[in-house]
Amino acid sequence: MADTHTKAISAAMLKLLRPLVRVLLRNGVPYGVFADLAKRAYVDVAMHDLEVPGRKQTFSRASVITGLSRKEITRLQKIDYPKVAESADRYNRAARVISGWVRDSRFNDGNGQPRSLPIDGNGPTFADLVKQFSGDVPARAILDELLRVGVVEKQPNGNLRLLERAYVPRTGEADKLGILGTDVAGLISTIDRNLRCDPDLAFFQRKVYYDNLPDEVIPELLSLTTEHAQALLERLDGWMSQHDRDNNTDVTGTGRRCAGVGVYYFEDEANLEEPS
């Protein structure tokens, strides 16, 4: 049984790592850097997620769990790795502004199409939008971010036009790589929960997949996916915003949860044989 389990997780890891390694190698990340990051992730999980209740986690126990020496764990803890909080906050604020632009009747044309907005002045403005959906962050900072990633453009009359109904950077490889971290982490966290929890408590995790589709039907499939997935996400976004304390100060309740739904399309050449 243990051998079967080990083989299953090893096969799953190879499937998971191949597309990740393609991204890493195309972006000039050598194995040594990946190995150090993997070690640091092992240490972080051992130190913070696998603590014994009521006892402070120690380097000695983390060493036993991870197989790394205490000296190596000490070295890794001293390295200043990039922080994700700042980029995640920027992403979330920009996404909330776009969401409000799409669904709030003050900032769309009544048919669900985002209005062209002046930066400030009378009537619905971009400054009003930012104040409503991004708190005390200056409108100029949000505008610079949306212009930088290519989801907003300035029109000749000075008004702003929304080019995307979601925060999907058109420019900047670094921004797209940042989304890799948040989106893939969310999917893996759901899979991890579903492996461990009672089936009745499992999170929704489904896909539809066929491996013998002709090339000619793919454009229509992509179009259908984009249309229906975007409609679903906008509907869920509207519901969630009504229950989020940052958007609705009248919401009551206990605790603080992060929750979301992700939808993605995938496509590749059929490969009926696993790489050796």
pLDDT in tens, the chain (276 residues): 568 888 888 999 998 899 999 989 988 889 998 998 999 999 989 988 887 777 888 888 889 999 999 999 988 888 777 666 566 677 778 888 998 898 888 898 877 789 999 998 888 999 999 988 887 788 898 998 898 888 899 999 999 999 988 877 766 566 677 777 778 888 999 999 999 899 999 999 999 999 999 999 999 999 999 999 989 998 998 899 889 988 888 999 999 998 999 998 998 887 655 555
Q: Which domain holds residue 2?
A: 1-81
Q: 96 and 126: one domain?
A: yes
Q: Rounded distance, CA 9 to CA 177, Å?
A: 26
User: Among candidates 210, 198, 118, 108, which has minimal Cα distance to 160?
Assistant: 118
Q: What is the pTM of this model?
A: 0.68
Q: 76 and 109: one domain?
A: no
Looking at residue 171, what is its pLDDT?
A: 60
For every residue of 113-160, DSSP letters joined together read PBPPB-SSSSSS-HHHHHHHHHTTS-HHHHHHHHHHHTSEEE-TTS-E
Specify whether the CB–CB gap between 189 and 195 falls below 8 A. Answer: no
Task: Give the domain-ending residue among 24, 52, 81.
Answer: 81
* Residue 53 resides in a domain: yes
Looking at residue 149, what is its pLDDT?
A: 81
Looking at residue 103, what is its pLDDT?
A: 84
Q: 195 and 221: one domain?
A: no
Q: 196 and 245: one domain?
A: no
Q: 188 and 260: one domain?
A: no
Contacts 24+ apart (CB under 8 A), 40-48: 40/76, 40/79, 40/81, 42/66, 42/68, 43/68, 43/73, 43/76, 43/77
Structural domains counted in the chain = 4
Q: 5 and 76: one domain?
A: yes
Q: 218 and 266: one domain?
A: yes
By three-state DSSP, how is residue 162 classified? strand
Contacts 24+ apart (CB under 8 A), 244-247: 246/96, 246/135, 247/96, 247/133
Q: Rounded distance, CA 10 to CA 13, Å?
A: 5
Q: Rounded distance, CA 74 to CA 59, Å?
A: 8
Distances (CA, A) of 130 to 86, 113, 157, 160: 18, 18, 20, 13
Q: 76 and 3: one domain?
A: yes
* Residue 167 resides in a domain: no
* Residue 170 resides in a domain: no
User: Among candidates 73, 95, 76, which has minimal Cα distance to 151?
Assistant: 95
With 0-12 / 13-18 / 19 or more C-beta atoms within 10 angstroms meaning exposed / middle / buried, residue 160 is buried
Looking at residue 30, what is its pLDDT?
A: 92
Q: 193 and 218: one domain?
A: no
| Residue 168 structure tokens | 């999907």
How far apart, in Å, do the first and last CA atoms of the chain sit?
Answer: 24
Q: 18 and 52: one domain?
A: yes
Task: Give the domain-ending residue among 81, 115, 134.
Answer: 81
